[in-house]
Amino acid sequence: MGFALFALVISCGGSSNKPDETLVSIKTDFGEIKLKLYDDTPKHRENFVKLVNEGFYNDLLFHRVIKNFMIQGGDPNSRNSEPTAQLGSGGPGYTIPAEINPNHFHKKGALAAARLGQKNPEKNSSGSQFYIVQGEVFRPGQLDTLELSINLQRKDLIMREHFQASVYKFAEFKEKNDKEGYDKLVTQIRVEADSIYDARPKFKLSKEQCDVYTSVGGYPSLDGEYTVFGEVVDGFDVIDKIAAVETNKANRPLNDVRMKIELVK
């Protein structure tokens, strides 16, 4: 159920590659995607290079494709899978510690590591699954609304977690018909949750993020939640072609989209 993605260095005006950069190539029937792996996410870079050199990804599928969001692959169970197989839970048997860097975000072409969403507070990444962002271009007002919405969701999550932790106390008050105790606990939880929320950093996009999301595009709501460890430098049209294929209800392409990944340098 993890998510993951590839990303190589690109800017709004173009890209330039340094001599010592790690470059990889993903070949598909739709064309080739070239990516750069970031040096400041070394655990993800080294693991990805290791798997590529072992041929781990060859003949695997982009098993989860959602237009205007991302294309995802890297599940070893997809290599010889039946068309009706449920994919997305496979991996090499280990996870990778998160290397979330605020300088790397989910712009179009970002390469990120998939991960389990629940019961994973450390945000450890899948050992092999990745996704490449397609996303979409936003208007400035949409980004303002998105920031507000994400912060409200985070506040609501804190509140719900506190109410869930006190579920037996609430049941006890209801059983005793103790409305005063019930209301007092509600007030106490709200005060505690507000205090925790106020003390935590808020979701806020930088000027660079806003400039990119309103020009190049991407998927900003994932920022800070998943490790972005590279970006596309060539082949953005291939991302669009793959993202446009017809899929089933599980977002698996009806016609298999296979990959072959090689280390360029």
Domain count along the chain: 2
| Residue 7 counted as domain residue | no
Query: Do 95 and 45 lie in a common domain?
Result: yes
Query: Do 128 and 258 lie in a common domain?
Result: yes
Per-residue pLDDT tens, the chain, 265 aa: give them. Answer: 343 333 322 233 334 456 578 999 999 999 999 999 999 999 999 999 999 999 999 999 999 999 999 999 999 999 999 998 999 999 999 999 999 999 999 999 999 999 988 788 899 999 999 999 999 999 999 999 999 999 999 999 999 999 999 999 999 999 999 999 999 999 999 999 999 999 999 999 999 999 999 999 999 999 999 999 999 999 999 999 999 999 999 999 999 999 999 999 6
Pick the closest to residue 123 from 226, 1, 43 (CA basis).
226
Query: Do 221 and 129 lie in a common domain?
Result: yes
| Residue 105 counted as domain residue | yes
Query: Do 109 and 32 lie in a common domain?
Result: yes
Query: Do 174 and 239 lie in a common domain?
Result: no
Token pair for residue 145? Answer: 């609304």
| Residue 87 counted as domain residue | yes
- Per the CB < 8 A criterion, the answer to whether 154 and 42 are in contact is no
Structural domain of 57: 22-137+216-263
Q: How far apart are CA 2 and CA 129, in angstroms?
A: 7
Structure pTM? 0.86
Pick the closest to residue 127 from 31, 4, 214 (CA basis).
4
Query: Do 95 and 145 lie in a common domain?
Result: no
Query: Do 63 and 175 lie in a common domain?
Result: no
- Per the CB < 8 A criterion, the answer to whether 5 and 113 are in contact is yes
Query: Do 82 and 164 lie in a common domain?
Result: no
Is the backbone of residue 109 left (phi > 0), alpha (psi -120 to 50) or beta? left
Contacts of 194 (CB under 8 A, 6+ apart): 155
